[in-house]
Amino acid sequence: MEQENIGRKEREKLFKRAEILSAAEELFFHKGFTATTLDDIAVKAEFGKGTIYNYFANKEEIYLSIVEDFIHKFIEIVNEADKESESFKEFIAAYISRLYCFCHDNRVGYTLYVREFSDINIDTVIHDKCAYFDRYPQMFQPFKNRFDKAQKEGIITDRFDIESIVVFVQHSIFSNLYISINGRRRGDFDCRHEAELAVEFILNGILKK
Residue 193 lies in a domain: yes
The parent domain of residue 11 ranges over: 1-56
Pick the closest to residue 96 from 155, 205, 177, 151 (CA basis): 177
Q: Clarify whether residues 23 and 82 are in a common domain.
A: no
Prediction pTM value:
0.85
Residue-wise DSSP of 83-152: HH--SHHHHHHHHHHHHHHHHHHTHHHHHHHHHHHTT--TT---S--HHHHTTHHHHHHHHHHHHHHHHH
Q: Clarify whether residues 86 and 178 are in a common domain.
A: yes
Pick the closest to residue 112 from 190, 39, 103 (CA basis): 103
Q: What's phi and psi for 37, nearest 5 deg?
A: -115, 165
Q: Clarify whether residues 123 and 77 are in a common domain.
A: yes
Cβ neighbours of residue 114 closer than 8 Å, sequence gap 6 or more: 120, 174, 178
Q: Clarify whether residues 108 and 198 are in a common domain.
A: yes
CB 159 within 8 A of CB 85: no
Q: Clarify whether residues 86 and 114 are in a common domain.
A: yes
CB 130 within 8 A of CB 68: no
Residue-wise DSSP of 177-189: HHHHHHSTTGGG-
Number of domains in the chain: 2
- Of 10, 30, 56, the residue at which a domain comes to its end is 56
Helices 107-117 and 8-31, axial angle in degrees (round to 10): 60
CATH number at residue 5: 1.10.10.60
pLDDT at 1: 44
Q: Clarify whether residues 99 and 3 are in a common domain.
A: no
Residue 101 lies in a domain: yes
Say how many C-beta atoms besides its own lie within 10 A of residue 1's C-beta.
Answer: 7
Q: Clarify whether residues 87 and 22 are in a common domain.
A: no
Please report, as a single letter, which amino acid is at residue 58: N
Q: Clarify whether residues 51 and 119 are in a common domain.
A: no
Q: Clarify whether residues 192 and 103 are in a common domain.
A: yes
- Of 12, 36, 56, the residue at which a domain comes to its end is 56
Q: Which residue ranges in the chain fall short of pLDDT 70? A: 1-5, 119-124, 127-133, 184-187, 209
Query: Cα separations (Å) of 33 from 57, 69, 102, 123?
Result: 16, 17, 23, 6
For 12, what's the count of Cα atoms within 13 Å in the CB-facing half-sphere?
5
